[in-house]
Amino acid sequence: MAGFFTNLTSGLKRTRESLLGGITNLFAGQKTLDANFLEELEIQLLIADVGVDVTEKIINELKIKLAKTKELDKETVLNTLKSQLATLLEPCSSALEIPNSIRPYVILFVGINGAGKTTTIGKLAKQLQNDGKKIMLAAGDTFRAAAIDQLKVWGERNNVPVIAQQHGADSAAVIYDAFQSAKAKNIDVLIVDTAGRLHTQNNLMEELKKIKRILQKIDSSAPHEVLLVLDATTGQNALNQAKQFHAAVNVTGICLTKLDGTAKGGIIFAIALALKIPIRFVGVGEKIEDLKTFNAKEFIDALFN
């Protein structure tokens, strides 16, 4: 656990510096923490991509406390900030659980190009494999030949079967074949890749809906998890993506990648407040073990460490 916490703490370094570094600098320049200080704090939270709604909640609570005491101290400000952020994340702290009663358990990966879908699939496949699960991958991203090849590489690396067709094939047909194969081979988890698409591309969003319908013809409860992969480095745009994908395909879980490479990790709080969708995983590095099961308490502790 110590190694896990150290790794998470290291991965959140840039977000911590952005969020808490700026606030610490505010303390250094203020003799009294009054209404003027709260205005500066509000700006700092927005810069850290925490989001307007989250910032408003934090500032309002501090204003209530300020009205009672006339002056705030550093400890009160930090404790309030930590408490509010933890309260936001707690309802979204729900690990992915794969029940033994569903075979195959289908995880449909969605998101835009470049968010890290295929890499996340590879990492998750390996972790589930280490837990004793039989895994199969479906190369539903038929728009890019490179995506098919990349998934096959992950399959070979983990000794996991990959169901794929040629570049340009109908993605729904590929996924249908993969589901039938997974059922026949008693696979525990079928992980489905899909083509990266902008949340504004209506035709491609319609294709995602078609994929869901195809799966539900075989199993009315499938897909059992729709996992949206978001790139933390895109900041507020990640929230817009999340809203559009959720509206189209009812996202059931979120994976926030590339937290180690950005100061915009505060976006996790805006997403939690706006959507209240479980955050299943966070990505804090390139290694397989750097895909972490999300835990709100550990995340907040690492952020404030």
What confidence tens digit (pLDDT) does each residue in 277-302 have? 999 999 988 888 889 999 999 999 98
In this predicted structure, the answer to whether residue 195 has a pLDDT above a threshold of 70 is yes
Cα angle for residues 116, 122, 128 (degrees, 5° grid): 125
Q: How confident is the model at residue 200 (pLDDT cuts 50, 70, 90)?
A: low
Name the residue with tokens 């897909």: 223
What pLDDT is stored for residue 129 in this prediction?
A: 95
The CA-atom distances, in angstroms, between 243 and each of 24, 71, 221 are 33, 39, 23
Using a 10 angstrom Cβ sphere, with 0-12 exposed, 13-18 middle and 19 or more buried, the burial of residue 206 is: exposed
Spatial distance between the Cα atoms of 49 and 64, rounded to a whole number of angstroms: 23
Amino acid present at 17:
E
Average pLDDT estimate for 76-91: 92
Of the pLDDT bands very low, low, confident and very high (cuts 50, 70, 90), residue 26 is: confident
pLDDT in the model for residue 191? 98
Predicted pLDDT at 179: 95
Residue 160: the pLDDT is 95
The pLDDT of 239-256, averaged and rounded, is 93
Looking from the CA of 257 toward its CB, the CA atoms found within 13 Å total 22
> Distance between CA 172 and CA 143 in Å, rounded?
12
Q: Which of 35-49, 79-93, 103-117, 240-254 bottoms out in mean pLDDT, i.e. has the lowest?
A: 35-49
Tell me the pTM.
0.91
**Rounded to an integer, what distance in angstroms lies between the CA atom of residue 128 and that of residue 125?**
5
